[in-house]
A and B are shown apart, each in its own frame.
Chain A
Amino acid sequence: MYNVDFSIIYESLPQVFEGLKTTVYVCIFAFLLAFLFASIITYFRVLKGNKILEKVIVVFVEFIRNTPLLLQIYVVFKFLPEIGLTFSPIMSGIISLSIYQGVYFSEVIRSGIAQIKGEQKNVAFALGFSSFETFRLIIFPQALKNVISPLGSQVINLIKNSSLLSFIAVSDIFYISYQKIADDFRIIEYFTLCLILYTSLTSIVLIFTYIFEFCLKIKYKEVAFT
């Protein structure tokens, strides 16, 4: 009979805490990179009227969206060194994670841009804004305001997907707990610990999403463009 005994966790708590630090580091880094990547993709896809570049980006986006993240991590981790780009496991994990999530972010931001009235772009061009200024000052902030909560759910996906980095030996929460499970078969205890850690990370993101939404609602009560 299996006796649930949570005192066993106390001994390995410092190591799991190291794992938590790695996960948080990976998530923050990957989020920033993914956001940057998503903004660049969206800019070139929506505002820059270059047809060939647009086609290339569409193909790239569809390719990333329709292939498993694990395989992409393997490709970045194993294939890129052969053409001379060597990264540490954590760095290659961050790169593949941010590309994968950046594509999803860009889809979300694009759906936010679709909600904005189309003539705003033309008005901005008529007032002499360059296409980058139009994107940075007019389109992007409004689109971001529309998509705070889907973006938040994508960030939660990012946190959950960051557990895949354990396949290339990045010692995150899951990797360390899995090692501990292999050591002393305390599956329920470590599973509960993982559960608590992941749910608290995602809850923090959720709370931030609500705060952002609330603040934006107060700041821009109703901006009517008619």
Chain B
Amino acid sequence: MNDLINHIPYLLNGFKITFILSFYSIIFSLLLGIILGIVRFFKLPFVSFICACFIELTRSIPLILYIVFIHYTISPYLFNTYNITSYLGLNSVEMQTALISLTLFTSAYIAEIVRSGMENIDRQQIWDAKSLGFSTIQTIQYIILPVVLAKSLPAWIAQFSSLIKDTSLVSVIGLIELTRAAEIISEITRKDFVIMIFTLLIYFIICFVLSKLAQYLNNKYNHINV
């Protein structure tokens, strides 16, 4: 048991990486997903087609393939030229890859949730807003988004809980996050059971709280009719 306690900081370090990745990916994928969903909904020529291609392509391949692809193609180039992630304090290619791929991957799913939420809105409301003198941006901002947000919040939270579970896949490019850290410790100490169950419980508590939150919000906003 004693040598397990010695390894707790290592596990916490892994947890830190999981937490940072999930946190930034949630924020960025929410922004990108809402934009993609709106663009796809409004059927602009060409741009919407590109968005639809991106969304469908992303949804049809495994995340692990996505991570590897971005790690070998876009990420090194971006790291050498712009290095956007240095502003976030994540100064490594692996972190950048993980952030980009998780963000793009989740934003495709978020976009689909947003679009299906918007398609449930009566088109009459959009026309009404137009006739009352709202511009398109104002229509989205004041009429569409509040309702869509309230209606699809549970689905978003479910998606985020699956994002947190998916962060375990970034170990394929050598990032030591929670799952990988647990595996390494279990290999060093030969006490698989304790450390694995402990890690499972960490994930379980986070995701279970999120799923309960989703359930609560679903009950709360269920009466909104569009």
User: CB of B88 within 8 A of chain A?
Assistant: no
Interface flags for B46-76 (1: CB within 8 Å of A; 0: not) read: 0000000000010011111100110011000
- Of the four ranges (under 10, 10 to 19, 20 to 34, 35 or more), the interface on chain A belongs to 20 to 34
Closest to A199 in B: B60
Whether the Cβ atoms of A82 and B169 lie closer than 8 Å is no
User: CB of A91 within 8 A of chain B?
Assistant: no
Among candidates B61, B62, B208, residue contacting A161 with C-beta atoms closer than 8 Å: B62
Interface flags for A65-78 (1: CB within 8 Å of B; 0: not) read: 11111111011001
Among candidates B61, B165, B166, residue contacting A67 with C-beta atoms closer than 8 Å: B165
Whether the Cβ atoms of A74 and B183 lie closer than 8 Å is yes
- Residues in A whose Cβ lies below 8 Å from that of B169: 70, 164
CA distance A76 to B165 in the complex (A): 17
Interface flags for A93-132 (1: CB within 8 Å of B; 0: not) read: 0000000000000000000000000000000000000000
Main secondary structure of the interface of B (DSSP, over half): helix
Interface flags for B149-192 (1: CB within 8 Å of A; 0: not) read: 00000000000010001101101100000010011001000001
Q: A66-B204, A71-B196, A79-B193 are known; give 14 further A-B pairs, CB within 8 A.
A: A67-B204, A68-B168, A68-B203, A70-B171, A71-B179, A72-B200, A74-B182, A178-B68, A181-B72, A187-B73, A194-B61, A195-B61, A198-B65, A202-B60
Q: 8 nearest interchain CB pairs?
A: A66-B207, A163-B62, A68-B165, A68-B168, A187-B72, A160-B62, A70-B168, A67-B203
List the interface of chain A (C-beta within 8 A of B): 62-63, 65-72, 74-75, 78-79, 82, 156, 160-161, 163-164, 166-167, 174, 178, 181, 185, 187-188, 191, 194-195, 198-199, 202
A-B contact pairs, 5 of them (CB 8 A): A68-B166, A71-B179, A78-B183, A82-B193, A198-B65
